[in-house]
Chains A and B, each alone.
Chain A
Amino acid sequence: MDFLQPTTWGDALAARAERPDALAIAGGTDVMVDLNFDRRRPGALLDLTRIAELREWATDGDAVRLGAGVPYARVITDLGTQLPGLAMAARTVGSPQIRARGTVGGNLGSASPAGDAHPPLLAAGAQVEVASAARGARRVPVAEFYTGVKRSVLAPDELIAAVLVPRAAGPQQFCKVGTRNAMVIAVSAFALALHPDRHAVGTGIGSAAPTPRRAPEAEEFLAGELDWASRGPLPGTVAAEFGQRVAAAASPIDDVRGTAAYRRHSLAVMARRAATWAWDDLRRAA
C-alpha cells in the first residue's frame, strides 16, 4: 500500500485524480477502523494532514469556512460562539483522543447516518465545498450531500475542501441519545437552529434514517407558530407538536443499538426540549 503525502491542495487534488484506488485519510478515526477490520484494502492512502489550509478555519462573510481537516477539539475551543450547534455536537464525539484527531471533513467523507456533525450542519444550512483537479470547486448544500447509507455526492476524483456554516444568528441546540453517558454512537440525535433574522427554523436528524436529514415540515410548522415579533412564550402544546412532526420526518430502523419506535419517541422528546431551550434562550437574549 502506498502512502501519499501531498503538502499542497493542488497536489492533493492531482493525486486524488491520478489514484482512483487511493483512500483519503484525515484523522483516520474511521479509516483505520475499516483497515483493521479489513473492510477496505485501498491501493494507497492519501494523507491530507500535511495540507495547512485544510486545518484552518476563517470567517467568510456571514459564514465560517471550516477547513475539512479541523479536528473536533478545535471546533469546541474556537467556535462555541459562532457555531454553537456544531460545537455541542463536537463535544459528544467519542473520547478526547477521538476529538483530537477526528474531523468534520472525515465525518462528511464517511457520511454515516450516525455522524454527529451532520444534524447541526443541516440545521444551520451549511454548504460543503468540494473540489477536483479537473473541474475545480463546487458548493453543495449539505442537505443534498448525503445520497444513501454512507454515500454522498462526492465524485471519485473529488475531495472535501471545507464546509461553510452560516454563523449562528440565534440559539442552537444539539441533543444525542446513547445508551451510556459518554463515548457512544448516537441511537438518535437532533439539532435545532433558530434563525430569528429570517423567522426560520432549521433542523437536523441523526441516526434515524438512511441519511442524516432535515424535518422540513416540522421546521415550517414551528417557524409559523413562534411569536417572532414579541417573543412570547412557546406553548407546551406547540413544542410537543413540533416534536411529533420531527419524529414523523424520521424513518428509523430496529438495530442492535435501539428500536425504531424508541428512535422516533426520543426524537419527539429531544425536539420538544430543544425547541423550548432555544426559544427560551432567544427570549432571554431579547
Chain B
Amino acid sequence: MTAVETDARATGRLGAGRVGEDAQRPDGTLKVTGEFAYASDLWHDDMVWGVTLRSPHPHARIRRIDVTEALTVPGVTAVLTADDVPGENAFGLEHADQPVLAADVVRYEGEPVALVAADHPETARRAAARIRVDYEVLPALTDPRRALDEDAPPVHPGGNLVRHLPLRRGEQGRTAPVVVSVDVEVGMQDQAFLGPESGLAVPAEDGGVDLFVATQWLHVDQRQICLALGMPPEKVRVTLAGVGGAFGGREDLSVHVHACLLALRTGRPVKMSYGREESFYGHVHRHPAWLSYEFGAEPDGTLVYARATVLLDGGAYASSTGAVVGNAGTLGLGPYRIPNVTVDAYGVFTNNPPCGAMRGFGCVQAAFAHEALMDSLADAVGVDRVEIRRRNGLREGDRNITGQVIDSAAPVAELLDRVAALPLPPPADTSDIRALPGAVGNTTHGEGVRRGIGYAVTYKNVGFSEGFDDYSTARVRLQVTGGEAVATVHTAAAEVGQGLVTVQQQIARTELGVQQVVVVPADTSVGSAGSTSASRQTYVTGGAVQAACAAVRTAVLQRAAVALDRPLTGLRLDGEEVVGPGGEVLTGLADVLGDDAVEETREYRHRPTHAVDPETGQGDAHVQFAFSAHRAVVDVDVELGLVKVVALDTAQDVGRAINPDAVVGQIHGGSAQGMGLALMEEVVVTDGHVRNPSFTDYLLPTILDMPPMQVEVLEYADPHAPYGVRGVGEPPTISSGPAVAAAVRDACGRPLRRVPIRPEHITGV
C-alpha cells in the first residue's frame, strides 16, 4: 500500500504522459516483474486466518449448527455463525436480501454458513470441517424457465421475479413481409479474474475496523459492511488492496464482512484469501440467458418490428440482476433503428449460483440473439450480412428502442465498413498444426477444415443508468517539495488493472502542467468514486480529477494574482511557472506556494439519466453509448467440431483515447473474453451444483486460441463528456463473441443456437 509514483521523464520514450499520449503505467513494471502487492499478499505480523464454511446444498433448511468440536481445535481463535452478526444479517447491491451468514435456509451451493479464524489457514480449514451443520435438504428450483410457474417453489418469500422490464414502442402486433426468429441460449460465464478474493481486516483502537480489500467500489462496500456490523461509516474504513482483475465479479461483497466480523471478535488482524475453487463459489457470475427473438422487415431488409423475450437466471440472490435486466431490455435489440418494439426482459430467482455484474452487463447475452437474427434476416432477404447491419444501424440523432435520442456519434455503418475493409488472413497453413483447429493436438492436417467469417456490432451504455446518481469525487493537491512541483491525486476509484491510475496521472499532468503526479491509495477517507464498472471510471472519475485540478489551478493563480498584484485573468500555469497573457514568466510555482499546499476536492456528475416508464420501458435511460464492431475469421474442423479463431478484428469508437496504448489493451482483453464465452468459457451447473470450479475444466482462451488482432480506434469526441471520452472496456466483450459464433455457423452450416459452442454442437453428435 505504498503510494504509486512515477517520473515519466525518466522513462523517456513515452513522451510527457499527458492526455492523448501513450503513458506508462505506474504499476506496470511491478506487475510484469511479479513484485506488485496484490490483496493476497497482504500481511500483518499478528494476523490470524479466516475461512468460510459453505453450504454443500443448493437448497436446505439449517436445523442446527454445532461448533463445539471446531472450537476445540488448537489454534482456533473464533468460530462464528449467523447469531454472531451484530447488525443486520443482510447485504446486497440493489436489495439487502443476502445473509452475511445463512441463518435458517441456504439457497445456493456455496452459500456461507460459518466462519473460522485460526493461526494458520490449514488449521482454520480443518476446524471448519468439524462444524456440524444439520441440514434438511429441500427441493431446489434450478430451471429458471420454471421459476415463474404457478407451482414453482418460491426461493424468497416475495416470489421468484426479480424484475420484469416490458418495452412497448410503436405499433404492437405489427406484421411484416419478411419474418425471422431465433431461440438462443447463453451459458454462465465466470469473470475468472486471476487474483482470487482477498482482504485483511484490522481491528482499530476506536472499536472500529480498517479493511484492506480487492474490490470495485469502496463506498458501496462500506455501506453494506456498516449495515452488517451495526457501525457508523467513520468506524469502518476501507482501503483498496491490489486488485488482480475484476470484470464485475468484485462488485458484490465476498470476504469483506466476514473478515471484519472475525477481526472484531478476535481483536486480531484477520486475513481471508480464497483459492481458485472457492472463488468460483465466492462471487456472482454472468447470467445464463434464454432469448426468443423475432424480427419483421421489409423485403429490402429494413426492420419493421422486433419482438423479444429475455430470461436471465439471477440465481439465489438479487445482486445486480435488476440493472442487468434493465440493460438486456433497453439495449437488447442491438444498435438498430426499429420503429415497433415489444420486449419483455425478466430476471428470476432460482437455487443456482447468484449472478450479477460482468463486463458487458446484459448486452452480451442479448447480442448473441440479435446478431444471429440479423444474419438470418440478411439471408432471408438476400442482402449481404454487413449491408443488413449498415442499413438498419443507428445514426446520430436517431431514437433507440426506449425513445432516447442518440446525441453523439453512432457510427454503426462506419465501424462495419472499417472492419470489413481490413485485410483478410491468408488461407490456413496446413504445414503448421499450431495454425489449425486442435493445434498441437494433431487432429487435422487440413482434413475437414472449413473457413467461416462472421460479423457483429453492438452498443452499450456507459455509466450507471435509469436515474442513478452517478458521480465521482477527486481530491487534488499541489505543492512544491524539494524544488519540484508535485500533484497528489486522491480518489476512492478502484484500479482493477484497467489503467485508471495512469489516466489520473495523465489528467493531472495535462491540467496542472506538472510532471510528478502521485496517485495515493484509494480509500473511503475521500468521497465516493462510484463503481469501477459500466466502462465509467475514465469518464466519471476522470471528470472529477479534471474538475479538482481546475479548481487547484484557479486557487494557485488566485494566489499568484494577489502576490503579483495583477488581475487573475490572463494568468496561466505553465510547467512550474506562472505566465502572463503573452507567455512571459511572472513567477515560479515555488514562490507562489512556498511551503503551502493547495488542495481542492470536487465531485463530478454526468448528465442525469431517467427511470424508464414501468409499462412501456420508454425514457432516456442512459447517458452515453459506446459502439464497436467485430469481424471474426475461423477455421473449423467440421468433423471434430474444433475451432481455430484465425482473426478477430475490430473497430471501436472511443470518443477520445486518453491513453491509446491502454485503449488497445482493453480492446484486446475484452475481445478475448467475448470469444471465450462463444467457444469455451462456461460454469457448468447441474441441479444447482457447479461441476467445474477450477481452471482445469473452466477453460479460458490461451495464446493458441486468441489470434493477433487488427484494431481500428475511432475518436469521435462526445461533446458532453470530459475530453470527449467514451467508455471503452465493455463493447469489445459484447461484439466479439457473436462475431465468432457467426463465423463458426458460417463455416459449419449449422444453426448453433447455444453458446459456448461445443464440439458436439458443431458435429451434431
Contact = CB atoms under 8 A, between A and B. Distances in A.
Contact of A259 (B440, B443, B644, B760): B760
Contacts of A183: 702
Contacts of B704: 180-182
Given A182-B703, A256-B691, A262 B445 contact: no
Contact of B443 (A258, A265, A273): A273
Nearest to A262: B760
A270 B445 CA distance: 11
B640 A177 contact: yes
B442 A174 contact: yes
Contact of A177 (B447, B684, B759): B759
B691 A177 contact: no
A117 to B, nearest CB: 15
Interface size class of B (residues with CB under 8 A): 35 or more
A179 B442 contact: no
Interface in A127-177: 173-177
B691 A181 contact: no
A180 B699 contact: yes
Contact of A257 (B444, B447, B697): B697
B442 A175 contact: yes
**Which of B438, B441, B759 has the most A CB atoms < 10 Å from its CB?**
B441
Interface string B640-651: 111010000000
A237 B591 CA distance: 91
Contacts of B641: 262, 266
A184 interface: yes
B702 A256 contact: no
B440 A92 contact: yes
Contacts of A258: 758-760
B116 to A, nearest CB: 15
A201 interface: no
A37 B695 CA distance: 13
Contacts of A259: 760, 765
B760 A176 contact: no
A181 B643 CA distance: 8
Interface in A79-94: 88, 91-92
Contacts of A184: 441, 699
A265 B640 CA distance: 8
Nearest to B697: A256
A118 to B, nearest CB: 16
Interface string B668-701: 0000000000011000100000011000110101
Interface string A195-215: 000000000000000000000
A221 interface: no
Contacts of B439: 181-182
Contacts of A175: 438, 441-443
A38 B125 contact: yes
Interface in A255-286: 256-259, 261-262, 265-266, 269-270, 273, 277
A232 interface: no
B635 to A, nearest CB: 11
B763 interface: yes
Contact of A182 (B440, B447, B448, B642): B440
Interface in A219-257: 256-257
Interface string A93-116: 000000000000000000000000
Nearest to B761: A262
B603 interface: no
Interface string B444-482: 110110000000000000000000000000000000000
B277 interface: yes
A179 B441 contact: no
B722 interface: no
A181 B702 contact: yes
B705 interface: yes
Given A176-B441, A257-B697, A262 B703 contact: no
A27 to B, nearest CB: 17
B642 A177 contact: yes
A183 B439 CA distance: 11
A270 B702 CA distance: 23
Contacts of B692: 256
A91 B683 CA distance: 28
B639 interface: yes
B334 interface: no
A53 to B, nearest CB: 30
Contact of B640 (A36, A174, A181, A269): A269
B617 interface: no
B122 to A, nearest CB: 9
Nearest to B706: A181
Given A175-B443, A177-B642, A180-B680, A266 B702 contact: no
Given A180-B680, A261-B760, 9 more contacts: A38-B125, A92-B440, A174-B442, A175-B438, A175-B442, A178-B438, A182-B440, A182-B703, A259-B765
Interface of B: 125, 275, 277, 434, 437-445, 447-448, 639-642, 644, 679-680, 684, 691-692, 696-697, 699, 701-705, 758-760, 763, 765
22 contacts: A38-B125, A88-B442, A92-B440, A173-B442, A177-B640, A177-B759, A179-B679, A179-B680, A179-B758, A180-B679, A180-B680, A181-B438, A181-B642, A181-B702, A182-B705, A256-B691, A256-B692, A262-B641, A262-B759, A265-B763, A273-B444, A273-B445
Interface of A: 36-38, 88, 91-92, 173-185, 187, 256-259, 261-262, 265-266, 269-270, 273, 277
